[in-house]
Structure 1
Amino acid sequence: MDRMPRDLIGPDEYAARVTALRALLREGGHDAALVWARGGGSVDRYADLRYLTGYYPVFPTIRDLEGVWSDRGLAAALVTADEVVLFADEVGVDEAASGVTTWIGRHGSGDRTLVGDVVAALGERIGVRSLLLVATDAMSGKQARALAAEPAFSALAVADDNGIVEGLRLRKSAAEIALLREAASIAEEALEAGFAAIRPGAREADVVAAMAEVVSRREAVLANAFVYTFQSTGGSEDNRLPIHSGRVFAEGDLFTVDLSGTYAGYFFDLARSVVVGGAPTADQTASYELARATVDAVVDAFRPGAVLGDAARAGSDLLRAAGVDPERAEFTARGHGLGLGFEAPWIRDNSTLVLEAGMVVSVEQFCFVGDTGATFERNLVITEDGAEDLVAVRDFWSS
């Protein structure tokens, strides 16, 4: 069966859609529309709530539909001196969380909303006079407006700190590190399966399917398979979803993938590259060797007591020496923390964070040389003796 073209919708149709929206705006007396998008994969912004309670709102976040549902896929917890009140879009799941003293759940049609439930709970707790908002990036704009309009909320002394729980998450427990090792082992098996399928004449989508099968079979969730193939003919595809396609590999193509997902909520995030078929060109080799050398230089500087910015600069200096501006790279940090998300610490040259045993990080670099590029990434835990790969995923480049 012939493949449906990915560019089936053309410029004229897109332009007509914008024209139609502009007409509606004029009819409503509006000057403009601000249209938001929440991109990403199949996991959401749950880390702080999961960290505190073990709870995950499993339903996809979708727009409210009057008389059917509200705030689907969104949840919150009120943590007081003596209570943890969990607000959810489902009922009867008391065993889905730990340490919760009160469940307040909604399901099905009705007038209740998450904000309404929160405000009612605050009103019943006269001892709560000041409130810190945490993880506000997980709040919808509709919720923010509704909360701000509530007199009971406006009467409180309100501040926000989106890093307070993330700071607690910096140092992982032994159980967390075990989960992160399992996550990395799933990624290793997935990459082995995918790269084993790479050959001239194979399809890019089948390589991703081989990786996805492993992730699913091992009870993990695939977040993203960021695939980019630098074709030997010089062609490439854009950022339509999914970013892999039925493209057929030719000898000399350079395949790259940044694979991420979760096991029990804890992330893996590993990137590798390989040339399809024959030997790499000089530019392909240079891009790969710079990517790997940058990652390894950062990792070599990791040890308890080291300043994170010093380690980041070890990699950034290599990039500068090769004529690459680290601040204009594909990702302007040399990596990030890894846990219940892509999180602190961010591996930046100006970081003053002092590394401690128990921190888990992902060090990555994508480098471009000429018309090609390669990527490399390692997931590591800081131990008393230095940095240790959660799983020593092999280098596919040499094979």
Structure 2
Amino acid sequence: MRQATMRRLAAQAGFRGVVAWSRGGSGQDHYADVYHLTGFYQHQPFVPDLPGRWRAQGHAAVVLPVDGPALLLTGDGTVQEPRPTAHLRAAPDLVDALAEQLRAVIPPGRVGLIGCEAMAAPWWCRLRSVLPGHELVGADDLGWAARRIKSPAELGLMRAAGALGVRAVTAAKRAATPGATEAEVAAAAVAEIVRAGGAYYGMGISSGAESHTFAASGPAPYSGRELSAGDLLRIDLYGSVHGYLFDLARTWVVGAEPTTEQRRLLDAVRESVQAGIELLRPGRQVGQVARRCQEVFERSAFVAHHGMPASQLGGAWGHGLGLSFEPPWVAADGRHAGEVIEAGMCLALERRIAMPAVGGANYEDDVIVTDSGPEVITPEPG
């Protein structure tokens, strides 16, 4: 069904076929296009090219003609169950194997490339040089369009992911006691995800005097800083269940009741996001949701006392969610502002602000749009 949908979208766009290109490895960036079409995820991490031995290791490609079967190219032909929904071919040199397959099954002409951000420039140049009759055209919009409305099965996985995210953040909060470190808080969240069979994607965590930053500046997103009673601690956590993401953020005060200034900060981010959630209903426009969030935020006690802080999300109030962070971007203006919300969409609404003299706070919820209104799939624990 998914491959048939993509063939239809490709034909409508005037393509002879499409190539979906994805990166796997230990992080979950840029896996969605191949996974959506075949159910295959490449766990081999990226390693630099070694001419004559391998090229584009840690990546995978699907070649899908508009009138023929799909072929999955990957560096290793041995896979566990469930097997991908396409014929599998092992190819140590993924780039030349892709060129060979394109010549074999897709006539010269325009070919849509989905997953452009994961395609390195040297590989793109190689494909162009050996495929003079095929015009590779960036076509990421086809992938977004195919994944915009989730099926009932996908929505079930989104709900499972949201529930796991809530459990992971709850575990982090239990671990966040005076004397514990940011690393110990992060470990509690990751352990909960892995124990349940989910996949950890990433996080930003910060606390105390650094709570206005997103995360530590080193390779790990957490530090060994010990928490003190009264510290703000904020965490933005993302992971997945069978590839479908949760993405939620919470902020709380460690081991103490919030001060007046901390309460104003926490209320502002939470109440503005929740106001926008109420408008996530079929027929509404994305820009209306963003404007509602902004109006409530501007009327908050925090803004009344401290003025309007700079947005740390480029003015956006959230984004689509599924196999990746996806369009539409929830903003009052721009490309997606006029997009009409439909049942079956899933969005993450969020706000992150920082005032170095006070601290920083995050609040984010994941929401499924239903015919009867918004369904929050990352609720506060009961």
TM-score higher than 0.5: yes
Supply the distance in 2 between the matched residues of 1:221 and 1:338 (Cα, whole angstroms). 16
Q: SS of the counterpart of 1:131?
A: strand
Equivalent of 1:127 in 98, 107, 125: 107
Q: Does 1:73 align with 2:58?
A: yes
Q: 1:96 to 1:58 in 2, by over 3 A?
A: farther
Give the 5 Å matches for 1:166-205: 166-205=144-183
Supply the distance in 2 between the matched residues of 1:382 and 1:89 (Cα, whole angstroms). 38
Q: SS of the counterpart of 1:294?
A: helix
Match of 1:82 in 2: 68
Question: Could you tell me which amino acid in structure 2 is paired with residue 77 of structure 1?
Answer: V
Match of 1:341 in 2: 324
Q: How many residues align?
A: 348
Q: Structure 1: where are the runs of 5+ without partners? A: 1-37, 108-112
Deviation at 1:325, TM superposition (A): 5.9
Query: RMSD value over aligned CA atoms?
Result: 2.5
Q: Does 1:282 align with 2:264?
A: no
Task: Name the one with the larger strand percent.
Answer: 2
* 8 A contact 1:232–1:254 mirrored in 2: no
Q: Which has the larger radius of gyration?
A: 1
Deviation at 1:248, TM superposition (A): 0.9
State which drifts further: 172-181 or 273-282.
273-282
Deviation at 1:128, TM superposition (A): 4.6
Q: Does 1:324 align with 2:308?
A: yes
Match of 1:365 in 2: 351
Deviation at 1:278, TM superposition (A): 2.2
Q: 1:245 to 1:41 in 2, by over 3 A?
A: farther
Give the 5 Å matches for 1:105-144: 105-107=90-92, 113-125=93-105, 127-144=107-124
Match of 1:27 in 2: none
Give the 5 Å matches for 1:1-399: 42-66=27-51, 68-80=53-65, 81-93=67-79, 97-100=83-86, 102-107=87-92, 113-125=93-105, 127-150=107-130, 153-231=131-209, 238-321=216-299, 322=303, 323-324=307-308, 328-350=311-333, 351-369=337-355, 370-394=357-381
Supply the distance in 1 between the matched residues of 2:371 and 2:161 (Cα, whole angstroms). 22
Q: 1:353 to 1:234 in 2, by over 3 A?
A: closer
Deviation at 1:235, TM superposition (A): 11
TM-score (normalizing by structure 1): 0.81
Supply the distance in 2 between the matched residues of 1:239 and 1:282 (Cα, whole angstroms). 30
1:332-370 CA distance string (max 9 Å, x none): 310111110111121111211111111011111112344
State which drifts further: 379-388 or 274-283.
274-283
Q: SS of the counterpart of 2:97?
A: helix
Deviation at 1:67, TM superposition (A): 5.2
Deviation at 1:181, TM superposition (A): 1.0
Deviation at 1:231, TM superposition (A): 3.2
Q: 1:90 to 1:122 in 2, by over 3 A?
A: same
Question: Could you tell me which amino acid in structure 2 is paired with residue 65 of structure 1?
Answer: L
Q: 1:341 to 1:53 in 2, by over 3 A?
A: same
State which drifts further: 350-359 or 368-377.
368-377
TM-score (normalizing by structure 2): 0.84
